[in-house]
Amino acid sequence: MTTLTEQPEKGFRLSQLIYDTRYRSLTIQVVATILLVSIIYWLIANTIANLAALGKEFDFGFLSSRAGYDINQTLIEYDNSMSHGRAALVGIANTLLVAFLGCIMATIIGVIVGVLRLSKNWVVARLMAVYVEGFRNVPLLLWIILIFALMTESTPQPRDFREGGSASMILWDSVAITNRGIFVPSPVFHSGATLFGIITLLGIVAAYVYRKKSLQKQLLTGEPPVSLWIVMVSLVAGLAAVFVLQGFLLPGEQSFNPAITLNSPELGGFNFTGGLQLRNSLIALWFALSLYTGAFIAEIVRAGILSVSKGQTEAAFALGLRPNRTMNLVILPQALRVIIPPLISQFLNLTKNSSLAIAVGYMDVRATLGGITINQTGRELEGMLLLGSFYLLISLLISSGMNFYNNSVKLKER
Amino acid sequence: MKKTVLLGALTVAGLAATAASAATLDDVRARGKLNCGVSTGLPGFSNPDANGNWQGFDVDFCRALAGAVFGDGSAVEFVPLTTQTRFTALSSGEIDVLARNTTWTYSRDTDLKLDFIGVNYYDGQGFMVPKSLGVSSAKDLDGATVCIQTGTTTELNLADFFRANNISYEPVPIETNAEAQQQYLAGACDVYTTDASGLAATRATFEAPADHVLLPEIISKEPLGPAVRHGDNEWADIARWTLNALISAEELGVTSANVAELAAAPTTNPEVNRLLGTEGELGAMMGLDAKWAVNAIAAGGNYGEIFERNIGENTPIGLARGLNAQWTEGGLIYSAPVR
Ligand SMILES: N[C@@H](CCC(=O)N[C@@H](CS)C(=O)NCC(=O)O)C(=O)O
């Protein structure tokens, strides 16, 4: 018996690495890896060599040395005798504050404008289009500076508030709008404040549970639930009653001693003192970031709504749902699935864009760690690496948080 | 095995690349012009004029250095830098010399690895306030809002001063002098603080300079001088002796007007002859032409001429020589002997 086909040779030839599809992809991967590793190695070696030539070494010790500079807006305790690391944390807190405020306001603006741009009212729809195109197509830095300039140039100086000056406080002398910021009353907590806080929390939980129960009941019995308005109004009224009652019970000089009082700003010396100062730099940055990102979000929302087929609306109307219930119960839940993923990247953009803060003197992490600290200590590489890792970390956190939310609203396939 | 060879080769290449950049003079010559870091605009010190030509006290130092190296004071490229970007620009090699009213301090010299080649202006930090504020001393500034440029020595002095006097302030951090001026005039801050020379220069550009006063306190020492990268001693020597040559020239009465004549033939003064290269081989010791100092002086005059033309008493900035007079006139400006 003879074999018809000859067994192929077992040996391995080098050319197989390229011509044999079994090995080719492996070869390509190995070569690519070697190339990548050597490029990275070269970059690192070059950096180390250059640093050595300058006589600098790679060292994060500067973070624990004395910062020596002052920061105007400090959410955590800080003074100039604390370390550069602490100053970086103050900057991080400031970045997070403006990013947080910005994301909230941008979302609100975006949703409202996105919905209104689809309005049947021609004027409203056009106005929204002008806003969206105006903000989307002009660089953010210009908006930040423009808003800041408007706020500093068009508002009075604190000294104009002096006796006989041209400016005066508004809202029963409790709020002062100046070219350095808006001064508002700040709460002062007295002995009963903790108790009141606990009661408030309990009240909110109770209201939430009550409303939830009544919604469940609706599913079972069809009985209409208590309206959200009634729940909210009774919550507020109840808390106000507790607040007043507590004020009369608490010991103190007067008969009425509320647990929380307000500290209004007052003009003293050069500036207003007391109260809370919302600096122009914060407001300008916050508004500019929100308006700019809000324009993008509006387009995302509009696209999301348009992605839900018209038949859904018509079906809902046919069932007798009113337009706003149609929006809330039928359209938005479906639109959200389209909206959330691009919304995540808008939040990331907003957070990263907040690093333009120094243009208006807002002391974010780019201005403290990435600006003054680097400049005073000469640790550019270390500082920039830290700064980069911070933004990376915060972006990853935001996107994982939003992905978590996305998973909870996305279409669940059974 | 092969990989290590490859990586080894790459390391060597990396090192070779850095070794080459150590000889700044060769780089500058190969490029054909000097890269000089200046401010983004401070009248009198470094500021582009209406035609976009840079003018000023620091600018003229760069012109003199270019004169010494190339024999042509116009072979300079000016790189405007903010207070925050200046040191990185120097250490990364983007500029060859930094002449940007920069204070010589211990940590900048040692830790940031700059080499200051001398002092061209002895200064100190002052405060400017609107006259209408009625403030007469910096100690009365409790609670004031202060405009301050970030990344400066003045920012640190300010913190120290208020701390030492146990008074508070609200800093408004600002990136450039132009912004500071705008914020200050808009009343977004009560006070502007920086080097006293910078305050005088800034005030000179105001519409109503007389409405603003400089407070009497000078709260720090700010010796301002040009700086080069640490590690290239030959280049540092060239920069240092260019500054010394300008100072010596004033002391010896060599000016832009008479330098050509004095350099044509040896004079009776051996000091002048050595400086102007009609005697000895001083230029060659630095790898420069024998006429290096002649060219430096011809570029914009001696130290005194540069001072008077840019910031002196007959300019709008109107600074008196004061500490910056020659040592023979009771000032601190003093050159080591050129010999
Ligand atoms: N001498 C100080 C301060 C230097 C400084 O901030 N100078 C200001 C004003 S005197 C300046 O050059 N501004 C011009 C600009 O902003 O580019 C230092 O070296 O840190």
Query: What confidence tier does A410 reach under pLDDT thresholds 50, 70, 90?
Result: confident
Is pLDDT of B12 > 70?
A: no
Is pLDDT of B8 > 60?
A: no
Is pLDDT of A111 > 50?
A: yes
Q: What are the C-alpha distances in Å from A93 to residues A171, A282, A366, B179, B289?
A: 30, 13, 12, 26, 57
Query: What confidence tier does A131 reach under pLDDT thresholds 50, 70, 90?
Result: very high
Q: What percentage of chain B reaches a pLDDT higher than 70?
A: 94
Task: Tell me if chain A has a CB within 8 Å of the CB of B169.
Answer: yes
Is pLDDT of B18 > 50?
A: no
Q: Is the CB of B195 under 6 A from ligand 1?
A: yes
Query: What is the per-residue pLDDT across A227-277, written as a single tens digit (0 to 9) for each?
Result: 888 888 988 998 888 888 887 877 777 777 777 888 888 877 788 887 888
Q: Please tell me the least confidently modeled range out of A19-28, A165-174, B311-320.
A: A165-174
Question: Which of B47, B57, B58, B83 should be mutated for ligand 1, with most atoms under 8 A from CB?
Answer: B83
Query: What is the per-residue pLDDT across B143-171, written as a single tens digit (0 to 9) for each?
Result: 899 999 998 999 999 999 999 999 999 99
Residue with CA nearest ligand 1 atom 11: B177
Query: What is the per-residue pLDDT across B61-82, written as a single tens digit (0 to 9) for each?
Result: 999 999 999 999 999 999 999 9
Task: Tell me if chain B has a CB within 8 Å of the CB of A297.
Answer: no
Q: Please tell me the least confidently modeled range out of A167-171, A396-400, B29-33, B310-314.
A: A167-171
Those residues whose C-beta lies under 8 Å from the C-beta of residue A135, and which sit 6 or more positions away, are A143, A291, A292, A294, A295
Is pLDDT of A6 > 70?
A: no
- Residue A9, pLDDT score: 58
Q: What is the mean pLDDT of chain A?
A: 87
Q: What are the C-alpha distances in Å from B172 to residues A169, A184, A272, A284, B189?
A: 23, 20, 16, 14, 7
Atom of ligand 1 nearest to the CA of B199: 10
Please tell me whether the interface predicted TM-score (ipTM) of this complex is above 0.90.
Answer: no
- Residue A10, pLDDT score: 65
Atom of ligand 1 nearest to the CA of B222: 1
Q: If contacts are CB pairs under 8 Å, which of residues 46-85 in chain B contact chain A?
A: 83-84
Those residues whose C-beta lies under 8 Å from the C-beta of residue A402, and which sit 6 or more positions away, are A340, A343, A344, A347
Is pLDDT of A106 > 50?
A: yes
Query: What confidence tier does A414 reach under pLDDT thresholds 50, 70, 90?
Result: low
Q: Please tell me the least confidently modeled range out of A80-89, A239-248, B110-119.
A: A239-248
Query: What is the per-residue pLDDT across A157-187, written as a single tens digit (0 to 9) for each?
Result: 887 877 767 777 777 777 888 888 888 888 8
Q: H or E stretch including A279?
A: strand A276-279
Distance in angstroms (rounded) separating the CA atoms of residues A376 and A373: 5
Cβ atoms < 10 Å from Cβ of A291: 20
Tell me if B13 and A378 make a contact (CB, 8 A cut-off): no
Is pLDDT of B196 > 50?
A: yes
Residue of B nearest to A153 (CA): B186
Contact between residue A259 and residue A191 where contact means Cβ atoms under 8 Å apart: yes
Is pLDDT of A7 > 70?
A: no
Those residues whose C-beta lies under 8 Å from the C-beta of residue A98, and which sit 6 or more positions away, are A282, A285, A286, A289, A354, A357, A362, A364
- Residue B228, pLDDT score: 96
Higher pLDDT pick, A338 / A90? A90
Contact between residue B143 and residue A266 where contact means Cβ atoms under 8 Å apart: no
Query: What confidence tier does B97 reach under pLDDT thresholds 50, 70, 90?
Result: very high
Q: How far is the CA of B105 from the centre of ligand 1 (A)?
A: 14
